[in-house]
Amino acid sequence: MAQIESHKILAWIYGKGRGSVFTPKDLQPLASNDNLRITLRRLTAEGKIRRLLRGVYEYPEFSRLLNAPASPDPDAIARAIARAHGWTILPEGNTALNLLSLSTQVPAQWQYFSDGPTKSIHWSGGVIAFKHRANKETTGLSPETALLVQALKALGEDHVDGTVLCTLRERISEKAFARAVREARYATSWVYEIIKRLAEKKEAAHA
User: Is the distance from CB of 192 to CB of 185 less than 8 angstroms?
Assistant: yes
pLDDT 10s digits, 5-44: 888 999 999 999 999 999 999 999 898 888 999 999 999 9
> Is the confidence at residue 204, as pLDDT, over 90?
no
Q: How large is the angle between the packed helices 189-205 and 162-171, nearest 10 degrees? A: 60
Q: Where are the domains of the chain?
A: 2-69, 135-207
Give Cβ neighbours of residue 21 (< 8 Å, ≥ 6 apart): 52, 56, 57, 58, 72, 73, 76, 77, 79, 80
Q: Are 43 and 27 in contact (CB under 8 A)?
A: no
pLDDT tens digits along 121-173: 999 888 999 999 866 666 778 889 999 999 999 999 999 999 999 999 999 99
Residue 184 has pLDDT above 80, yes or no: yes
pLDDT band, residue 3 (cuts 50/70/90)? confident
Q: What is the CATH class of 2-69?
A: mainly alpha
